Chain A
Amino acid sequence: MVIDGIILSVIVGFIRKGNLSKLTQPLFKWGWMFPLLLAIQLGVFYFQNKVEWIGQASGYVYIIVYVLGLLFLWVNRHQKGLPLVFVGVFLNFLVMITNGGRMPVSAEAAAGLDPMYMEAIKNGFYAKHELLTQSTTFAFLGDIIPVGPPYPRSQVISIGDVIMNVGIFLFIQDLMLNKDNENSHISYESSDLKGGEIQ
């Protein structure tokens, strides 16, 4: 879902005549944290069903990853859109930590998905997720929003995911368009000077 959001944002950014040249500059404080968190997540995801203790600790690992992620967003909160990402991640974190480190998924909402996916959740194999039940706290923050046709990929997301994606969208738009404004300003100035030189 996050990848979808990023791709969509970049496409909209290009439609709005933005560019990605700002990516050459350092964007974040503590930028190294980003790949590290990703690596941990992927590692746990890969090994949790193979190595037993990793599987047992995975809930805690995800919580630590979330806390670090929130910290990372907090130190970068001055960037446009990141406060919203923070809110989205926090809402996801909230529902996960109150439900044993796993994201509750509504079976009703997931009805349209691949049955394999539901099976995996029920059996607890699929990392990060579990089935939403009556005893789930903050159920409304769980994965209850079905996304389907006309959207090309069927999935279930949470309100936190939505807010996070809005934040990412704003962040990327800001990234792609602001730089462009500066450029156009400079080119205006220099054309102005040229006009002076012709005379």
Chain B
Amino acid sequence: MKTPLDHLTNKLYMLLINGIGLTIFFVFGAFTFNNLSDWVLGYALIGANLLLTHFRIQMPPEGNSMSMDSAVYLACLFYFDIQIALSVLFYTSIIQFIYERKTAWWVHLYNFSIYSIMIYSSYFVFQWTNGSVGNIHLDSLYSYVIALTWYFMINALLIMLYFVTYEKKNNAIKMFKGMTRGTIESYVSTLILAIVLVLLFQSEPFFGLMLFVGLALILSFAFKQHFKLYKDAARKANIDQLTGLFNHGYTKELLDKVFRESKENHKPLSIAFIDIDDFKKYNNGNGHLKGDKLLEELGKQLGKSVKDTGYSIGRFSGEEFVFILPDTTAETASSFIDCLRKTVNDTYYDGVELLPYGCLSFSAGIAQLHPEIVTPSELLSKAAQAMSYAKMQGKNNTHIFGNEIEEDRLEAPIEEIEQQLNILLAKDIYTYRHSKRVYKYAVEFSQLLDLKDQERKQLILGALIHDIGKVEVPREIINKQGKLDYHEWEIIKKHVTWGHEIVSSNKKFESIAPLVELHHERFDGKGYPHGLSGQEIPKLARILCVIDSFDAMTTERPYQRTKSFPEAIAELKACAGSQFDKDIVEPFVRYIESTYPLTTETVDVL
């Protein structure tokens, strides 16, 4: 009922009810009790009511609860008189008003008013049906029943009227249906309890009231336990035991729900399908127990990442997880997942040394809901496809569905080059992924440049294979953690020459050999292997040099800080004219800024 009073009819209604309620109190109730023993009785009744309303009996399913304070008011009416009942109500309400400050004052006032109306009118009905105050008369038991029925009818009516005047009618009807469900039981039990309490009042007022409240409290605690068990069971049914995330069944259920809502309200929805990289390798190397431990820890971390966001995450199968991101576009989802990926990369898990990156990583596929997608499983399968694509790009990667590079335009040689490149996959995963990314930039960037078809193809293939010479560099040097010494640098530098030799060995690729050899030449002539400068360097090699450097700067490695896109762009600009060709840097920067706007804006936050 915590809503602002902005409907006129509702205001008038509240005014009317509160007016009636207060009038009843001032006419029939009193601020004080008649004598000291009534005061003592009043204290006991007020205390009982406060306890009963505080420890309501909670009943599953959620939201249902029962308070026995009505039984106390009714017993007061039947045994004492209306003045005591109203005064008890008044002080109880005052104390509740002070105690429950979270509830708005007008809610307290309204509750007080409807109670006083209920109490007064059922008192009236009780008298009218020949009920007599005091000891119970079994021959006029019907008057107790009628008075109590009246009490509940007035209650339902007044609550319903509140909603009728405040909201739409069907809401009130829904509300009324909710109220009447299970009402018979609570109505009958309140009646029985009220009569029991009257009988107790007859013999031992204070001790009887104490017993009554004690019973109610014990019931309240018992039901609370019961309710807790119920909730635990319900929770367990939806939670994956190992990771503590939602399980497969519940994730699907949740996705169905969110999917439907997003469709109806035309709101964006993205889902991210993630899969741990090389989990099998981890399991084989460390044993399944440790694998489970890893899943458990990762589950905790993933669960933490969605805390305080509107996102949910479930464990979909073995090492697969699904994020549901309502109200989120694919781009936002992607940067969220990428940020998470970096955190996971940077977190040390026991035994990850075995993995190719030396850290835990995952590949993620993201799919956004769009009008043509009709079922949740379609969306899910799109995300799964994107995830597979991300895996193909060398893992530890996030990919948005629909952004795949169209490879068919590049024709046959690419497959052969891919085969060459796969050698790197086994030896130097970083170079493999670097090549894949440079290739991707080259595909996109070349479309924006004024290049002949043949040149475009050369650039793309060259980008893919440009570091192939690194297969000749010893593993110790490639994977060395610290700074390289002079001698080692010389060997690294040789990769361009070795690459040139490898590529030249195949007639088909002769045309891209210069790219492989010359992509480390600098515009100012300080590069290697030949120290060419300016226009002496082929145009394609100059382009490749810019792309290659940009990716090298922004490449992320676990446990290391990555240069952000804006920082890398600044660096490119600073070196334009010296290290790089100015005429290439400019369009490249424009290309990056327009294609990856989100990354260039938010990367600082990440």
Contact = CB atoms under 8 A, between A and B. Distances in A.
Interface of A: 106, 108-109, 132, 139-140, 144-146, 150, 159, 162, 196, 199
Contacts of A150: 207
A150 B206 CA distance: 11
B47 A140 contact: no
A140 B32 contact: yes
A139 B36 CA distance: 8
A144 B40 contact: yes
Contacts, number: 26
B36 A159 contact: no
B37 A108 contact: yes
A199 B40 contact: no
Interface range, B side:
10 to 19
A144 B289 CA distance: 69
A60 B47 CA distance: 32
Contact of A108 (B33, B36, B290, B293): B36
A140 B37 contact: no
A150 B47 CA distance: 19
A109 B289 contact: no
Contact of A162 (B36, B47, B207): B47
Contacts of A199: 289-290, 293
Contacts of B43: 145, 159, 162
10 contacts: A140-B33, A140-B36, A140-B39, A145-B40, A150-B207, A162-B43, A162-B47, A196-B293, A199-B289, A199-B293
A126 B36 CA distance: 23
Interface string B9-42: 0000000000000000000000011001101100
Interface in B279-313: 289-290, 293
A140 B37 CA distance: 9
A140 B39 CA distance: 6
Interface of B: 32-33, 36-37, 39-40, 43, 47, 207, 289-290, 293
Given A150-B207, A162-B47, A144 B290 contact: no
A127 to B, nearest CB: 23
Contact of A109 (B32, B36, B207, B290): B36
Ranked 8 nearest A-B pairs via Cβ:
A140-B39, A144-B36, A145-B40, A199-B289, A159-B43, A106-B36, A144-B40, A199-B290
Contacts of B47: 162
B40 A109 contact: yes
B291 to A, nearest CB: 11
B489 to A, nearest CB: 42
B189 to A, nearest CB: 27
Contacts of A159: 43
Given A106-B36, A139-B36, A140-B36, 15 more contacts: A108-B36, A109-B36, A132-B36, A140-B32, A140-B33, A140-B39, A144-B39, A145-B40, A145-B43, A150-B207, A159-B43, A162-B43, A196-B293, A199-B289, A199-B293
A106 B39 CA distance: 12
A21 B484 CA distance: 59
A150 B207 CA distance: 8
A139 B33 CA distance: 11
A27 B36 CA distance: 38
A132 B37 CA distance: 13
A2 B40 CA distance: 19
Nearest to B290: A199
Contacts of A196: 293
Nearest to A199: B289
A138 to B, nearest CB: 11
B47 to A, nearest CB: 7
Contacts of B36: 106, 108-109, 132, 139-140, 144
Nearest to A141: B39
Contacts of A106: 36
A162 B289 CA distance: 58
Nearest to B42: A140
B218 to A, nearest CB: 13
Nearest to B292: A199
Contacts of A146: 40
A3 to B, nearest CB: 21
A199 B291 CA distance: 11
Contacts of B40: 109, 144-146
A81 B32 CA distance: 27
